[in-house]
Amino acid sequence: MENKNLKSGEFLVEEVPADKVFIPEEFDEEQLMIKQTCADFLETEIYPVHDRIDNMEEGLMPSLVKKAGELGLLGVAVSEEYEGFGQSFVTQMLACDILGAGYSFAVAYSADTGIGTLPIMYYGNDEQRRKYIPKLASGEYLGSYCLTEPGAGSDANSGKTKAVLSEDGKFYVLNGQKMWITNAGFADIFTVFAKIDNDRCLSAFIVERTFPGIIFNPEEKKMGIKGSSTRQIFFNDCKVPVENLLGKRGEGFRIALSILHMGRIKLGANVLGACKKAINESVAYANERKQFGQLISSFGAIKYKLAQQVIKTFVIESAVYRVSNDVDDAIARNKATGMDDGRATIEGISHYAVEAAILKVYGSESLDYVVDESVQIFGGMGYSAETMVEKSYRDSRINRIFEGTNEINRMLVVDTALKRAMKGDFDLFGEAQKIADELPKLQETDITGLDYYSEKLAYIRNFKKAILLVINKASETFGRKLPYEQEILFNISDMIMELYIAESTLLRVQKLEGIRGAESVNLYKDILDVTVYDTASIVQKSGKDALCSFAAGDQLGLLLDGLDILTKVAGVNVKDARRRIADNMIEENKYTL
């Protein structure tokens, strides 16, 4: 098999060998030290004052973010040239992963180090970077990002905030309103998006809190993430020096999209820490709570929930670090062409837009499942505000709205993959036509004599063919009108997401066996067995829903027969597999994988 780095979305038609992906079991000593530093910070600085954070004690959150800066945690993604640590993208994602367990602090931290700092790091000129980035990396300055407006949420480029050049040419004068601005209560530096004159596209500006003409509304009262600062901001003839234009005039929309891609992919890491925190709360309670004279952890219904929590966390983790390493490879290639570090990094991240949207949707919905079942395991106590799982449940909900709603991201998964294919990045349509041509003579895959991983790979290949079959017929039927068939796009998106997650899990387990040996991965194989088995059902159902929405008669019958063949997998004793996964965690009294 040819060894190459797959482009975004290319996994639909190509494969990568297991030994070429990165898995979290490969973290080096430095990465493990950063991981421990992040975990220790939560234990010593965040959890002891969580109630004070939730009550929005004046000055507490910014002081905690600044403490993180003293430990270097704000500069993980900042290059050494600007007094950061210049860590790899995998390491950045690891920090997001661990600190994702920090409830409201995780939101403030992520907004500061991500969308608050990196637009300047990636798109600023050298003067702007030297002026702002070292202070943002140390915590002397804290950052924020102002894109959303009352009439411009998912449709970000429709924002009404205006910028007009002053008569003396020294300032841009901003007028407008921004809402849902994270860290607005204490941030020093804001990346603000506005349209210059009557431009069609946004521009971006670096705005300091001390600039005249900025008014901050009171803190919003929110369902969850109560400890994070969220305010509306009004710009009334706010004067911004012309040298604070970020990037080029009219480049703001591109900057916004690129930063959203980054936010999506990092949210996929953030949810991991939150998932593991909720799982640990769940199993600890299940090992203490007795009903009918037995610990509830001994009940099959509870074991099912615990196992599913583990499975959903493990599989998204597999995908997170797979694509994180792909991003690092892309960054290295960009630097080799002469790009500076900032542009090379954001272009590398933005390239994997399909995978970023997958991680955002699948990760946020997995976290919702995990915390929901945590509350259920706790029973009535889970509904009490005295428990951490109640806070986890409320905090989780925003993730399906953050960084573009899951509905927008579901459409992006398909739309971006199709656009990349039309650009010639990979031959999706040619491969899809091959499947359509083979449909009348399609036969079940013979798995006789295949070893464990070859069998699983055969299933994954068939899932890809099933997706291509649906894409081919949908594109053929609707043509340019396909983007307006949102229900069908959602069906295809769900198929694609399940495929990518299942394939990532397969690659992780296969590589891990190569490192540790077969005896050490039996539990991981249980996760893989359940995942592939469940993926087959979801791909089949989503594909059927899509096909039945536009095909009919003999054509529909042929398509459904082909779909059934391509989603057929051997049966799995999922009850026993899940019980083994749960029993391992119950014995250790924590998430162990």
Residue 61 in any domain: the answer is no
pLDDT tens by residue, 524-551: 999 999 999 999 999 999 999 999 999 9
Residue 415 in any domain: the answer is no
pLDDT number for residue 4: 63
Find the distance separating the first CA and the last CA of the chain, reported in whole Å.
Answer: 30
H/E segment holding residue 102: none
Distance CA 246, CA 492 (A): 37
Q: For residue 108, what are the CA distances in angstroms to 113, 155, 359, 368, 512? A: 9, 24, 20, 20, 35
Question: Tokens 């999922």 sit at which residue?
Answer: 574
Distance CA 569, CA 534 (A): 10
pLDDT number for residue 374: 98
pLDDT tens by residue, 21-80: 999 999 999 999 999 999 999 999 999 999 999 999 999 999 999 999 999 999 999 999
CATH code (residue 484): 1.20.140.10
Read off the DSSP letter of residue 21: S
Which are the contacts of 493, defined by CB distance < 8 A and separation ≥ 6?
361, 410, 411, 413, 414
Residue 378 in any domain: the answer is no
Residue 53 in any domain: the answer is no
% residues pLDDT > 90 (the chain): 95
Residue 550 in any domain: the answer is yes
Predicted structure pTM score: 0.96
DSSP three-state, residue 194: strand
- Provide the domain count of the chain: 2
Which are the contacts of 277, defined by CB distance < 8 A and separation ≥ 6?
101, 388, 392
% residues pLDDT > 70 (the chain): 99
Which are the contacts of 513, defined by CB distance < 8 A and separation ≥ 6?
520, 521, 524
Residue 113 in any domain: the answer is no
pLDDT number for residue 157: 82
pLDDT tens by residue, 475-527: 999 999 999 999 999 999 999 999 999 999 999 999 999 999 999 999 999 99
Query: What is the chain's mean pLDDT, rounded?
Result: 96
pLDDT number for residue 158: 86
H/E segment holding residue 146: strand 143-146
Residues in the chain: 593
CATH code (residue 190): 2.40.110.10
Distance CA 123, CA 343 (A): 7
H/E segment holding residue 381: none
Residue 268 in any domain: the answer is no
Q: For residue 82, what are the CA distances in angstroms to 144, 244, 348? A: 19, 18, 20
Pick the last residue of a domain from 231, 246, 261. Answer: 246
Pick the last residue of a domain from 180, 211, 246. Answer: 246
Q: Which of the residues 281, 390, 403, 498 is marked catalytic? A: 403
pLDDT number for residue 2: 45
pLDDT number for residue 427: 95
pLDDT number for residue 392: 96
pLDDT tens by residue, 364-379: 999 999 999 999 999 9
Pick the last residue of a domain from 246, 277, 307. Answer: 246
403 catalytic per annotation? yes
Question: Tokens 């387990």 sit at which residue?
Answer: 509
Distance CA 183, CA 55 (A): 15
Q: Over range 344-365, report the average pLDDT.
A: 96
Which are the contacts of 439, defined by CB distance < 8 A and separation ≥ 6?
469, 558, 559, 562
pLDDT number for residue 3: 47
pLDDT tens by residue, 153-199: 778 788 899 999 999 999 999 999 999 999 999 999 999 999 999 99
Domain of 562 in residue numbering reads as: 427-588
Residue 284 in any domain: the answer is no
Q: Over range 405-431, report the average pLDDT.
A: 95
Q: pLDDT class for 1, splitting at 50, 70, 90?
A: very low
Mark 194-230 as b/e (b = at least 16 C-beta within 10 Å): bbbeeeeebbbbbbebebeebebeeebebebbbbbbb
